[in-house]
Chain A
Amino acid sequence: MIELVWLIPLFPAIGFLFNGLIARWVNLDKRIVSWVACSALGLSFLFSILIFFSLVQLAPEARAAVPDKVLFDWIVSGDLKTVIGYKVDPLSIIMALVVSGVSFFIHIYSVGYMHDDPGYTRYFSFLNLFVFMMLTLVLANNFLLMFVGWEGVGLCSYLLIGFWFERDAPANAGKKAFVVNRIGDFGFLLAIFLIFAQLGTLEFNGVFAGAHSLDAVTVTIITLLLFVGATGKSAQIPLYVWLPDAMEGPTPVSSLIHAATMVTSGVYMIARCHVLYSMAPVSMAVVAIVGAATAIYAASMGLLQFDIKRVLAYSTISQLGYMFLAVGVGAFSAGIFHLMTHAFFKGLLFLGAGSVMHAMSGELDMRKMGGIWKRAPITFWTFFVATLAIAGIPGFSGFFSKDEILWQAFDSAHGHVLLWLVGAAAAGMTAFYMFRLLFVTFFGRCRASEEVKKHIHESPPIMTIPLIILATLSLIGGYVGIPHVLGGRNFFHEFLAPVLGGHPQEAGHTAFSLVRPAFASGGATVGSGVNMELLLMGVSVAIAVMGISIALYLYIWKTELPKRLGERFKTLYTVVFNKYYVDEIYEACFVNSTKRLGTFLWQRFDDGVIDRGVNLVARLMLWLGGVLRRIQTGRVQGYATGIILGAVIIILFLIR
């Protein structure tokens, strides 16, 4: 069964080729297009599940040692030998499950959402291509194939952000995403070069087995360069600026690519390279600090936005910051856990936002919404579940994963109390802006125009069913990883332990199993660790509840208060509302100077040096031709003289 892993990415590839080449040329019926696209994903999902279960049946230590499924040699040149090969282990199969599963539901949702779009077939072929590339990324068994997937998802992201390319904003947003991602990819590529130069192989198994021979500086450089790649793809400081603009794409695209799957690939990549990161404490610290900073910084920008998709975009950046915080403190499986739960609830939130837009005739500004919870009950309730999950309310999936990250940030050997503090503060902000979004959108007086008001309606079942499924997952998805301190069993960590083994959770586990004898002998130090964990859990829940209460107070009870506060702290409000002017600063510092450099090179170097040089050569030849053509006189005997003289000269030369 496990050898059939290559089928998982194959189905979306076939779907892409069919929809992209055949269906688009012969203008097939929409129903066929959607059936092909969705069933390709359905089969992919099915095979992911089957392979997952055959993997579970193996002994835990055998799960990480499944031989790579190599299809064929790809590039063989000198020392470089790269294969098209897929790796099945707990980490990659969880990623494959999340990617194919969430994609499947979002494909179904898209059938309803994109129903009247003229680019329907194009949309589904891009979406299938995206899933193919994403699965290639997560299942690849070497860095180069992973990079192919990495670039492929970037391409699809560009194509789908600019899906409505006839308008300026999406086209520019796509361009921005592409250019910003290039910067990150450059770092990733350099890291790959460095790995190959140092170790002579790019296969994960070989690289991680040989990693111990690297010296500390090299590993630090490699891991930092990899992290540069991750900041681009996963929208971390300083390369996060493309993600909010990416919301110009269709909403299911924002849900799939810019929330659930593609943007998390940086986290996956770091978890995959945990062997290298564990050898480079400096890089770990950088990852953790950047993650924590992004978490709180993006959350603060989300506080004041009025565009529902932009709030969710900043929220995504912030949650990605959490994941990086987790992998940065060495809690790799906690990061992957949050990646999974985040895929559920953030995917759901975006789909919910899409459903709201559907109800509100495409409106995005939450100031023009309100009071629609009765008119669109399924959208509201599923959105509510996702909001509770992201806010970290106990019992919902986000609670388990976020709380684990916060605990690890505090407790792990790489952790620090400041990291915890920042994370907890960001959690409070998350709860606040998510409930602000919920209250302003769904409650209160409806502020839409009469025309829009008349059309408010619930979405069709093809859109609401994926919402319900994802809501269920957001509700129960966390129970695979209940913290030990709550008396549960963390299946998720146990499953990932063979791959990510040796992470702090393991240590915590052994410490915990020692608690009872330690208590018996009167030792209280380990026990206080457990109490501490419970205490911090209580604190973070309290912070979340506080955030919710403030949102409730400001947006349900005293609805005129936010405006007054905004006027009171006008400077602060303006700065935060304008996203700290980072886009403008980047524009002034980097974009404009690059443009000026480009203009300079174009006008001075390209026009002035290269073009002028080429023209000079051409004119020289023209002149030379004008001179030399006089030789051709038309007198045959003249030519014959030349021939004979030439022959004589050659003969003289030969007999000399």
Chain B
Amino acid sequence: MLSSVPPIYFLIVSAVIFAIGAVGVLIRRNAIIVFMCIEMMFSAVNLTLITTSHHLNSLDGVLMVFFVMTVAAAEAAVGLAIFVLLFRGRGTIKVDEINLLKW
């Protein structure tokens, strides 16, 4: 069934998700939302990888996806811990208010 859908559709969906994620990273102020947008970009990339892997009949892309997922999980743990500490220290997780590190 899947093979009947041309891979270009999958890629278009993935590009759309990626673009949404990227725009979210750039414009949202809440750090957790920014974080979720990053996760969306990961997922878009994963979708691309699986699509090409399936299309080329190779396992390389699938293998890569596992790595990405592992890293994303680890990152989620660290990132959320940072947000908790940030909130404790500064009472906010708005990214545009966390701007001490400048000239």
Report the stretch among A154-162, A227-235, A383-391, A629-637 that lies at the interface.
A629-637
Q: A615-645 toward B: CB 8 Å interface, digit per residue (1/0)?
A: 0000000000000011011111100110010
Residues of B within 8 A of A640 (CB): 25-26
Contact status A637-B25, CB under 8 Å: yes
Binds A, one of B50-58, B66-74, B81-89, B92-100: B92-100
Which residues 16-40 of B have a CB within 8 angstroms of A? 22, 25-27, 34
Residues of A within 8 A of B95 (CB): 635-637
A632 touches B103 (CB 8 A): yes
Complex contact B22–A644 (CB within 8 A):
yes
Tell me which of A629, A630, A632, A644 contacts B26 (CB under 8 A): A644
Task: State the CA gap A493–B99 with chains docked (Å).
Answer: 95
| B101: interface (CB < 8 Å) | yes
Q: Which residue of A lies closest to B31 (CB)?
A: A636
Q: Is B102 an interface residue (CB 8 A)?
A: yes
Query: What total of A-B pairs shows CB separation below 8 Å?
Result: 31
| Interchain CB contact under 8 A, A635 and B26 | no
B19 to chain A, nearest CB (A): 10
Of B25, B34, B101, the residue contacting A634 (CB under 8 A) is B101
Find chain A residues with CB under 8 A from B96 CB: 635, 637
Whether the Cβ atoms of A634 and B26 lie closer than 8 Å is no
On chain A, the residues within 8 Å of B22 by CB distance are 644
Q: Are B100 and A634 in contact (CB under 8 A)?
A: yes
Contacts of B98 in A (CB 8 A): 636
Q: Nearest-CB distance from B33 to chain A (Å)?
A: 12
B-chain residues with CB within 8 Å of residue A644 when the two chains form the complex: 22, 26
Judge whether A641 and B26 touch: CB under 8 Å: yes
- What's the least CB distance linking B36 to chain A, in Å? 15
- Which of these, A630, A633, A641, contacts B99 with CB under 8 Å? A633
Q: How far is the CA of A9 from the CA of B93 in the complex (A)?
A: 80
Residues of B within 8 A of A641 (CB): 26
Distance in angstroms from A553 CB to nearest chain B CB is: 95
What's the nearest-Cβ distance from chain A to residue B58, in Å?
23
Q: How far is the CA of A635 from the CA of B101 in the complex (A)?
A: 9
Asked if B99 contacts A629 (CB within 8 A), the reply is no
Task: Give complex CA distance A644, B22 in Å.
Answer: 8
Instruction: Please state if A635 and B103 are interface contacts (CB–CB under 8 Å).
Output: no
* A637 and B102 contacting across the interface, CB-CB below 8 Å: no
Contact of B26 with A637 in the complex, beta carbons under 8 Å: yes
B103 → chain A closest CB, angstroms? 4
Please give, as numbers and ranges, the residues of chain B lying within 8 Å of A635 by CB-CB distance.
Answer: 95-96, 99, 102
Nearest neighbor of A641 in chain B, beta-carbon distance: B26
Q: Within 8 Å CB of A632, what residues of B?
A: 101-103
Interface string of A183-224 (1 = CB under 8 A from B): 000000000000000000000000000000000000000000
Task: Give complex CA distance A636, B102 in Å.
Answer: 10
Question: How far is the CB of B95 from the nearest CB of chain A, in Å?
Answer: 5
Q: Mark A501-531, 1 if CB is under 8 A from B, else 0.
A: 0000000000000000000000000000000
Complex Cα–Cα for A383 and B103 (A): 84
Chain A: minimal CB distance from B82 (Å): 12
- In the complex, the answer to whether B25 meets A630 with C-beta atoms within 8 Å is no
Residues in A with CB closer than 8 Å to B100 are 634
Chain B neighbourhood of A634, CB < 8 A? 99-103
Query: Nearest Cβ distance between residue B47 and chain A, in whole angstroms?
Result: 18
A285 to B99, CA, bound (A): 87
Q: How distant is B79 from chain A, measured CB to nearest CB, in Å?
A: 13
Are A630 and B103 touching (Cβ within 8 A)?
yes
Min CB gap B57→A, angstroms = 25
CA distance A613 to B67 in the complex (A): 54
Smallest Cβ distance from A650 to chain B, in angstroms?
15
Q: Which of B27, B34, B98, B103 has the most A CB atoms < 10 Å from its CB? A: B103
Residues of B within 8 A of A633 (CB): 99, 102-103
Cα of A644 to Cα of B101 in the assembled complex, Å: 21
On chain A, the residues within 8 Å of B25 by CB distance are 637, 640
- A625 and chain B: residue at smallest CB distance: B103
The docked-state distance in angstroms from the alpha carbon of A632 to that of B27 is 18
- How far is A640 from B22 in the complex, measured between Cα atoms in Å? 9
User: Nearest chain-A residue to B99 (Cβ)?
Assistant: A634
CA distance A83 to B4 in the complex (A): 83
Q: In the complex, which residue of chain A has the Cβ closest to the Cβ of B28?
A: A637
Q: How far is the CA of A229 from the CA of B97 in the complex (A)?
A: 78
Q: Bound state CA distance, A637 and B34, in angstroms?
A: 10
With A and B bound together, what is the CA distance between A558 and B101 in angstroms?
A: 99
Which 3 pairs between the two chains have the least Cβ-Cβ distance?
A634-B102, A634-B99, A629-B103
Known A633-B99, A637-B25; further 14 A-B contacts with Cβ < 8 A: A630-B103, A633-B102, A634-B100, A634-B101, A635-B95, A635-B99, A635-B102, A636-B95, A636-B98, A636-B99, A637-B27, A637-B95, A637-B96, A644-B26
> What are 30 inter-chain pairs, A to B, with CB distance below 8 A?
A629-B103, A630-B103, A632-B101, A632-B102, A632-B103, A633-B99, A633-B102, A633-B103, A634-B99, A634-B100, A634-B101, A634-B102, A634-B103, A635-B95, A635-B96, A635-B99, A635-B102, A636-B95, A636-B98, A636-B99, A637-B25, A637-B26, A637-B27, A637-B34, A637-B96, A640-B25, A640-B26, A641-B26, A644-B22, A644-B26
